[in-house]
Structure 1
Amino acid sequence: MTTTQLSSTVPFKEVTDGNGRVYRIGETDRDIMGRPRWTMVLFPWIGMMGISSSEYAFTSAEDTLHEAHLWNSGHIFWLMGVWIFFQAAVAFPAGQLRESGKLPARYAMMLGALGTLLGYLSLAYAPHVIVAYIGFGMFSGIGAGLVYATCVNMVGKWYPERKGGKTGLVNGGFAYGSVPFVFLFTSYMDLSNYQTVLVIVGVICCAVVAVAGWFFKDPPKYWWPTGADPLKTSEDPRIRRALAKNPPAVKQYTPKEAARTPVLWMMWFCLLCTAGINIFGIAFQVPFGKDMGFAGGIVATAMSLKAIVNGTGRGVIGWISDRYGRRNTLIFVCLVLGSAQFGVLVSGSMGSMPFFLFCSMVSGFGGGAIFPLFAAMTADYFGENNNASNYGMVYSSKLISGLVGSGMGAVVVAAWDYEGAFIIAGSIGIASAVLALFLKAPGRPDGKKIEPNPNPIGREIA
C-alpha cells in the first residue's frame, strides 16, 4: 500500500471550458509556494542575466582571445555558433525531462550554473581550441540552454492569463545582463589579466544562476490563478484585454499533436530566419563598426546599447503583444528587424556615428523582441502544460540559425563583404514578416468564416 503526499491542503477543483480544456482553480500562489508569484518573474529574470554574457558579450572578447590563444577570428565566430547550437539543442530534451518530473527546475538551474562556469574556465585555460569548443561551445551552451528553457517556461506557467509582458521581461534578462561584461571585455581585459577576468566572470555568473535557481518551483498542472476565472469574463481590464487579443489554446497539445500542425513548423522557420538575423548582428556589429573606422569605445557603446534595447524590447514587446495580439506584433517586429539591417549598413558606410548607434538600437529591439513573442505564442497556440517541450521544438530552429548567423555569416562576409551580408539579412527580415501573416492558432475557427444564423432565436421565443 502506498500513500501520496499532496502538494497542497487547500481545496481546489478542476473545471472544463467549451473546448474541453481543463483548468485547476482554487489555489493561490501563496498556497502553493508560500510567496507571491511575482517572485517567479524575479528569480527567472536574475537567472537569465547570469547566462547572458556568454552570447551577447562573447564577441567583445574576440581580440584578446585571438592574441592570447593565437586563435584566428574564424574560430571565435564558430565558437559562438557551436555555443548557440547546443544552447538550442538542449531545449526540447530539457523540456521533456522537466515535464516528466525527472529534472526538477532547481536541478536544471544548478546544472546550468555548472556549465556556465566550465565555459569560462575553458576560455581562460584551453591549451587547444578543441578544448574551448568542448568547454565553452558544448558545456556552456548546454548549461545556458537548460537555464533559458527553465526560466522562460516557468514564468508562462505562473502567468497563463497574461503571459506576454512577464515572459518578455524575463527574456530580456538574456540581453541586458551582458552590458557590464561588454565594457569589461572591450575596455579592461587584455593579455595581462584575461585569465583572472574570465575566471571571476565565470564564478559570478555561476553563483547568480545557482542562487536564483534555488527558489524555483512549478505550479500544479492545469493551474489557473484566482481572480481570473477561465469560464467568465474577468473584471480586470488587463486580463480581459489580453485574453481577448490572445485567447488561450483550445486544448493542451502534447508535443506529438503540436508537431502534426503546420503552424508549429511555420513558427519554427520564422524563428530560424529572425534569430539568424539577430545572431548575425551580435557577431558582426563590433567588427563592422571597427572596419568602418569607429573608435573602440563607440563600438562598445553601440553593442551595449544594442544589448540594453534588446533586453528592454523583450519586456516592452510582451506588454504590447498583450494589448494588440501576438501575431500582429510579430509582423511589426519582423519589419523593424529587417529594415534595421539596411540602416546599420548605410550608417556605417556614411561614417555617421549617431545614425549607427540609432540603427544598432533598433536592430537590438527587433532581434530581442522575437524570442518572447514566440515563447508566449507557443503557449497561446498549444497550451501551458507541455510548453517546455513545444517551445523547445520551435526554439530548436536556433540550432541552425546560430551556425548560419555566426559561422556562415563569416563566410558570406568574406565572399560578398558586409554590404552583401547586411542586404541579405535585411531581405530575410522583410520576408519573415510576410510569413508571419499566415500564423494562426490550431483548432480555433476563423471568426471571419463563421456565418450568422439566418433564423436567430428572439427573446420572445426564448
Structure 2
Amino acid sequence: MTTTELPASVPYREVADVNGRVYRVGETDIDIMGRKRKWMVILPWVGMMGISSAEYAFASAEDTLHTAHDWNSLHIFWMMTVWVFFQAAVAFPAGRLRESGRLPARWTMMIGAAGTFMGYLSLALAPHVVVAYIGFSMLSGMGAGMVYATCVNMVGKWYPERRGGKTGFVNGGFAYGSVPFVFLFTGYMDLTNFRWVLLSVGVLLAAMVASAGYFFKDPPKNWWPANIDPLNPPEDPRARRSLEKNPPAVKQYTPMEAWRTGRVALMWFCLACTSGVNIFGIAFQVDIGEEAGFAGGIVATAMSLKAIVNGTGRGVIGWLSDRYGRKQCLLAVCAILGGAQFGILFSAEAKNLPLFLIFSAISGFGGGAIFPMFAALTADYFGENNNATNYGMVYSSKLVSGLGAGMGAVVVGAWGHSGAFILAGCISFFAGFIALFLSPPGRPKSRDVKPNPQPLGEEMA
C-alpha cells in the first residue's frame, strides 16, 4: 500500500442540486487520506472475512463442541441465535457513536478484533456453557456487529456514485471468508486438538480485523468524488448508468427523518424475514442433508458451496443493481431465496445429491444477496452522512431474524424439516411482496406525474 504526503490544506467547494442537497467537491481521495479510495474496498473486505467464521462456520463445529464440553445440542443453536442478536443490537448505537466522532472507525475495528478473539477463547476454554454465551454469543457478537457496520458503511461513503458493486464485494467477505474454517472444523478439529485449533483461529482472525482497521478513515461529510460532477450526468458510463437507476437521496436524512418516511419500517421487516430464512438455512442445511443420508463430507461441501456462492453472490447482485436498479434486484432475490427452500426440501426428500448441491448454492446466493441490497438502498434513500445510524436501524432487524436458528429448532421439532423449509420459503415470498411498496422518499412516483395538458406550442399561441 502506497501512501502520499497530505497537503497542508486542500481547496473544496460546496454545491447544491435542485433538491437542496449539498455536495462537497474538489478533494480527491489522495488529498483526504493519502491513498487511493480502492483501499477502502480492500481493507473492509479483509475485515469482513475476519468475522465471517463465527456465523457461517460455527454450525460446522457443533459435534465437536457438543462432545468436548458436554453441551446440549440446543445450546449450540441458541448460542448462534444470541450471537446474531448482539451482532445486530450493537449496529445502531455504534453508528451513533461513529457519526458523533466519539468512536473513530479505527478504534471500532480494534474493539471488534478483541471481541473476535474473546469468542474463540471462550469456545476453547469455557468451564461452563454460561461463559461461552458471554464470551462467544455476547462479546464476539458485539465485536462482529461493530466490524460489520463499520466496513459496510465505509465503502458506501467512499463510493457514493457507484456503491452497489463495491458494497456487495465487501459484504461478500462475510460469507466466503468462512469457507476454510468449515473444512477445518469438520475435517481436522477433534477432541484432541479443538482448543489449539480454536485459539489459533481466534488469534489469526483478530489480527486480520485489527490490521485492516488500522488504516480506516472516513471521508468528510457530504464528500463527492472530485472527478464526478454531481449536478450533471457523469462521463463515466458506469457511474452514469448507476446514478440513473439509483439516484442519490434528495437530502441527508437524520435517523428520525428517515424513520418518519415509513421506508425504514418496510426495509426492517423485509430484512427480518429474508435474513431469518438465511440463518435458518445455515443452521439446518447440514441436518436435512444428513437426514437424507448424504455423507458428512458431502454435506460440508454443500455448506462450503453455499458460503462461497453466498459471498460471491453479494458482489454479483451489487454489480447488477448498479445496472438494473436496487429494488428490481431485491425483488428477484426474495423470489430466488424462497424458491430455493422448496428446492432443498425436494432434493433432500428425493435423495438427489446433485440437486441438493445446486439448490444449496442457489439458497446461498439468495441469502447473501439481500444484505448488500439493503445496505445500498439505505444510503440511496437517506444519504451517506447518517448512514451508519440509518442502516443500524434497518440492520437491527437481525434481532428478530436471529431467531431463525433457535426458533428453527423449535419448528423442526414440531413440524419436521418439511414443515420448516416450506414455512421458510413462504416467508421469503411474503418479504418480496412487502418490498413492492418500497420507493425513494422525496421523489414523485411516476404515476403521480401529470402530463402537460397544453403542449408548448399551444401555450405560446
Find out whether 1:448 has 2:433 as its counterpart: no
The aligned counterpart of 2:193 is 193
Contact 1:8 1:32 in 2 (8 A): no
- 1:2-21 counterparts in 2 under 5 A? 9-21=9-21
The aligned counterpart of 2:415 is 416
CA distance in 2, matches of 1:220, 1:75: 45
**1:144-193: CA deviation from partner (whole Å, max 9, x where unpaired):** 00000000000000000010000000000000000000000001100000
The one-letter code matched in structure 2 to 1:437 is L
**1:200-229: CA deviation from partner (whole Å, max 9, x where unpaired):** 000000000000001100000000002211
Q: Cα gap change, 1:135/1:450 in structure 2, threshold over 3 Å: closer, same or farther?
A: same
CA distance in 2, matches of 1:411, 1:186: 25
The aligned counterpart of 1:3 is none
Contact 2:21 2:250 in 1 (8 A): yes
TM-score, normalization by structure 1 = 0.97
CA distance in 1, matches of 2:390, 2:215: 24
Q: CA deviation at 1:287?
A: 1.6
Q: CA deviation at 1:455?
A: 3.1
Q: CA deviation at 1:291?
A: 1.6
CA distance in 2, matches of 1:349, 1:421: 14
Q: For residue 137 of structure 1, give the secondary structure of its aligned residue in structure 2.
A: helix
CA distance in 2, matches of 1:283, 1:15: 49
CA distance in 2, matches of 1:234, 1:196: 54
- 1:354-393 counterparts in 2 under 5 A? 354-393=354-393
Contact 1:314 1:368 in 2 (8 A): yes
CA distance in 2, matches of 1:415, 1:44: 41
Q: For residue 86 of structure 1, give the secondary structure of its aligned residue in structure 2.
A: helix
CA distance in 2, matches of 1:94, 1:342: 37
CA distance in 2, matches of 1:459, 1:361: 59
Contact 1:172 1:312 in 2 (8 A): yes
Q: CA deviation at 1:459?
A: 12
Percent identical among aligned pairs is 72
Contact 1:293 1:351 in 2 (8 A): yes
Q: CA deviation at 1:289?
A: 1.0
Q: CA deviation at 1:235?
A: 1.0
The one-letter code matched in structure 1 to 2:398 is K
Gaps of 5+ in 1: 1-5
Gaps of 5+ in 2: 1-5
- 1:61-210 counterparts in 2 under 5 A? 61-210=61-210
**1:401-428: CA deviation from partner (whole Å, max 9, x where unpaired):** 002x010000000010000000000011
**1:366-406: CA deviation from partner (whole Å, max 9, x where unpaired):** 00000000000000000010000000000000001002x01
Q: CA deviation at 1:454?
A: 2.6
Count how many residue pairs are aligned between Structure 1 and Structure 2: 456
The one-letter code matched in structure 2 to 1:408 is M
CA distance in 1, matches of 2:252, 2:370: 23
Q: Which moved more, 1:315-324 or 1:439-448?
A: 439-448
**1:300-337: CA deviation from partner (whole Å, max 9, x where unpaired):** 10000000000000000000001110101000000000
CA distance in 2, matches of 1:238, 1:348: 42
Q: For residue 15 of structure 1, give the secondary structure of its aligned residue in structure 2.
A: strand
Superposed CA RMSD in Å reads 1.4
Find out whether 1:289 has 2:289 as its counterpart: yes
- 1:209-220 counterparts in 2 under 5 A? 209-220=209-220
The aligned counterpart of 1:267 is 267
Q: CA deviation at 1:88?
A: 0.3
The one-letter code matched in structure 1 to 2:447 is K
CA distance in 2, matches of 1:192, 1:289: 27
CA distance in 1, matches of 2:325, 2:373: 10
The aligned counterpart of 2:337 is 337
Find out whether 1:425 has 2:428 as its counterpart: no
Contact 1:242 1:323 in 2 (8 A): yes
The one-letter code matched in structure 1 to 2:71 is W
The one-letter code matched in structure 2 to 1:106 is R
The one-letter code matched in structure 2 to 1:24 is R
CA distance in 1, matches of 2:422, 2:453: 53
Contact 2:80 2:405 in 1 (8 A): yes
The aligned counterpart of 1:55 is 55
Q: CA deviation at 1:296?
A: 0.8
The one-letter code matched in structure 2 to 1:416 is W
CA distance in 1, matches of 2:345, 2:413: 16
CA distance in 2, matches of 1:369, 1:52: 15
Q: For residue 14 of structure 1, give the secondary structure of its aligned residue in structure 2.
A: strand
Q: For residue 222 of structure 2, give the secondary structure of its aligned residue in structure 1.
A: coil
The aligned counterpart of 1:221 is 221
CA distance in 2, matches of 1:460, 1:294: 75
**1:43-101: CA deviation from partner (whole Å, max 9, x where unpaired):** 00000000000000000000000000001110000000000000000000000000000
